[in-house]
Amino acid sequence: MAATVVVGTGPVSFEDVVAVARHEATVALGEDALAAVDRARAVVDELAAAPTPAYGISTGFGALATRHIPTEMRAQLQRSLVRSHAAGSGPEVEREVVRALMLLRLSTLATGRTGVRRETAELLAGLLSHGITPVVHEYGSLGCSGDLAPLAHCALALMGEGPVRDAAGVLRPAAEALAEAGLRPVELAAKEGLALINGTDGMLGMLVLAITDLRRLLRTADVAAAMSVEGQLATDRVFATDLQAIRPHPGQAAAAANLTALLRDSGIVASHRGPDCNRVQDAYSLRCSPQVHGAARDTVDHAALVAARELASAVDNPVVLAEEGRVESNGNFHGAPVAYVLDFLAIVAADVASISERRSDRFLDKARSHGLPPFLAHDPGVDSGLMIAQYTQAAIVSELKRLAAPASVDSIPSSAMQEDHVSMGWSAARKLRRAVDGLTRVVAIEVLTAARALDLRSPLEPSPATGAVVALLRGNGVPGPGPDRHLAPEIEAAVGLVASGAVVTAAEEVIGELA
């Protein structure tokens, strides 16, 4: 049975986001959250009854905010807002992304800063718990005034309108899916439509998921680098603690410690450690792995700090200050803080993939591989070995370099120049997801390539940790050296082992947890 994430007035954690987005955790609102929601709603109801216009409660929106809306038209105002803003286009966004953004919108509602009614917040929790996922489209958010179109598609489902996917992934009308789950659509009251769509939840959800994936991938990249150092008869001396300490970046120290642990007791490394070794220095892609992987780690940690601050935020406009009985406009919906780090992480993905591809390529060139057959082929000339696997890496790395171009520096004014500077954070998040997938594939091909090289170094033995990774591959659809065969399924098998974390787990079962 899936776990339950209880949403209170405090921030949800990274683990909560992953549990709901990827592992079908159900969701409940805590009593403190419900009390905060009720207090904020009382403020909104009081302002709605007042003769003085209040933005978002008794006025139009954006460039239309100057119009005062009479009481009898305010329910229509909310419906119109959601329907008109549910204007996305393009392919469906992944289920995990939609579930993450729904949870994060609920988390903001639970702070008591938005003014929704408790039944509206509880219905959003009900959709998550019953696995009902509104259809959200790729295009529509500028990352300012929040992720308006994606969130509006979710709000539409709360009204019982629009298409959704049920728990089995079947496309159905929202009203039908809600009825089957025993849920009743809501008729949105004053302020609720705006509160449901005015947040950075989509880009933040994708940031949290990307950070989770990148932390796993950077440990995997250390495993791949250790296998490459070993397979290319490079030295582990450059990873010594005292050498790292004189440049005290924490990520670098962690990566170097991982490499040292992974290479411990390697028969291959020991075979060329003596005084007759004529290798003076290894290539940068081997020797500088901790510096690159470490800088990537430190960047991910910075992004995690920004994400944690955003998770602790109540993003809405206007915002309810229940303690003072007032509602105020603000600019907290601007996605710049999140957009910047999303772009930064795309640079990280591109560069870590780049150094991984360079390590892989060295295995395939007989002039640089120190005695290995060209392209690691069984019968070079008859067989091409892993020649084209490197082409695949190169194609992905080239794509990752294009994806590293920042989205957050591009702003197109909207809403009749009322919204004249936007963050494009949603776009930054979408390209980061593609970059994380590309990095996964590049690292997987390095692991596959290095494993073949380690087999070809026989009878010399790899380290216990890297040997465990080779054994994992051999037991899961990636055979050892031999005549050419259909390579794509082996690459996909390796990609699956990297994406699942199995490669890291195999090494950690031998040497303990990696940093």
Active site residues: 55
Report which secondary-structure segment, H or E, holds 197.
Answer: helix 192-197
Cα–Cα distance for residue pair 476/478, rounded to 1 Å: 6
Cα–Cα distance for residue pair 376/364, rounded to 1 Å: 6
Q: By C-alpha distance, which of 192, 196, 198, 143 is closest to 329?
A: 198
Which amino acid is located at 271 in the chain? S
Cα–Cα distance for residue pair 502/39, rounded to 1 Å: 48
Distance of CA 169 to the CA centre of its chain: 22
Tokens standing for residue 403: 């994806």
Tokens standing for residue 397: 């790395």
Cα–Cα distance for residue pair 441/390, rounded to 1 Å: 11
Residues 131, 24 contacting (CB under 8 angstroms):
yes
Which amino acid is located at 314 in the chain? A
Distance of CA 158 to the CA centre of its chain: 26
- The residue behind tokens 């298409």 is 163
Secondary structure (H, E, C), 387-418: HHHHHHHHHHHHHHHHHCCCCCCCCCCECCCC
Write the DSSP string, 327-390: EE---TT--HHHHHHHHHHHHHHHHHHHHHHHHHHHHH-TTTTTSPPGGG-SSBTTB-TTHHHH
Please enumerate in sequence order all residues whose Cβ is within 8 A of that of 70, keeping only pairs 6 or more positions apart, or say none.
none
Q: By C-alpha distance, which of 175, 83, 87 is closest to 123?
A: 175
Report which secondary-structure segment, H or E, holds 495.
Answer: helix 488-499
Please enumerate in sequence order all residues whose Cβ is within 8 A of that of 492, keeping only pairs 6 or more positions apart, or say none.
none
For residue 277, count CB atoms less than 10 angstroms from its CB and return exposed for 0-12, middle for 13-18, buried for 19 or more. exposed
Task: Give ∠ CA 491-494-354 in degrees, rounded to 5.
Answer: 75
